[in-house]
Amino acid sequence: MSNRSLDLDVLRNLPIAGIFFCFFLALSSLPAVAATLPGQTESTAKATPAPTLFQPEAVWPGGDDSAPAFMPDGRTVFFTHRDVAITIMMSTLHNGIWSKPKVAPFSGKWRDIEPAMAPDGSYLVFVSNRPMKAGGAPLTGYFGGQSRPGAGGNIWRVDRKGDGWSEPVRLPDIINSHSAIYSPAVAGDGSIYFNQPDPVTRKSHVYRAQAKSDGFEAPIPLSISDGTHPGYDVAVAPDESFLIFSASRVPAAKDQSLLFVAFRQNGKWTEPQALEPHLEGLESRLSPDLKTLYFEADEASGAKTHGRIFQVPLHAYVPSH
Report the pLDDT averaged over residues 207-212: 97
Q: Kindly tell me if the per-residue pLDDT of 54 is higher than 50.
A: yes
Question: The CATH number of 61-317 is which of 2.40.50.140, 3.40.50.300, 3.30.750.24, 2.120.10.30?
Answer: 2.120.10.30
- The burial of 79, by beta-carbon neighbours within 10 Å (0-12 exposed, 13-18 middle, 19 or more buried), is given as buried
Contact present, 125 and 155 (Cβ < 8 Å): yes
Report the 10 Å Cβ neighbour count for 89.
Answer: 23
CA distance 193 to 187: 8
Statement: residue 274 has pLDDT above 90: yes
Q: CB of 138 within 8 A of CB of 114? A: no
Q: Which class for 259: exposed (0-12), middle (13-18), buried (19 or more C-beta within 10 A)?
A: buried
pLDDT score, position 145: 81
Q: H-type helices in the chain, by residue range?
A: 8-12, 16-28, 42-45, 314-317
pLDDT for 4 beyond 70: no
Q: What is the mean pLDDT of residues 283-288?
A: 98
Q: How many percent of the chain have pLDDT more than 90? A: 70
pLDDT at 85 over 70: yes
58: DSSP letter: G
Q: How confident is the model at residue 303 (pLDDT cuts 50, 70, 90)?
A: low
So where are the chain's domains?
A: 1-33, 61-317
What is the mean predicted confidence (pLDDT) over 248-273? 94
Which tops the pLDDT comparison, 43 or 36?
43
In the predicted structure, residue 172 carries a pLDDT above the cut 70: yes
Report the C-alpha gap between 321 and 318 in whole angstroms: 6
Three-state DSSP class for 7? coil
Contact of 74 with 93, CB cutoff 8 Å: yes
The reported pTM is: 0.83
217 or 301, higher pLDDT? 217
Confidence tier at 3 by pLDDT (50, 70, 90): very low
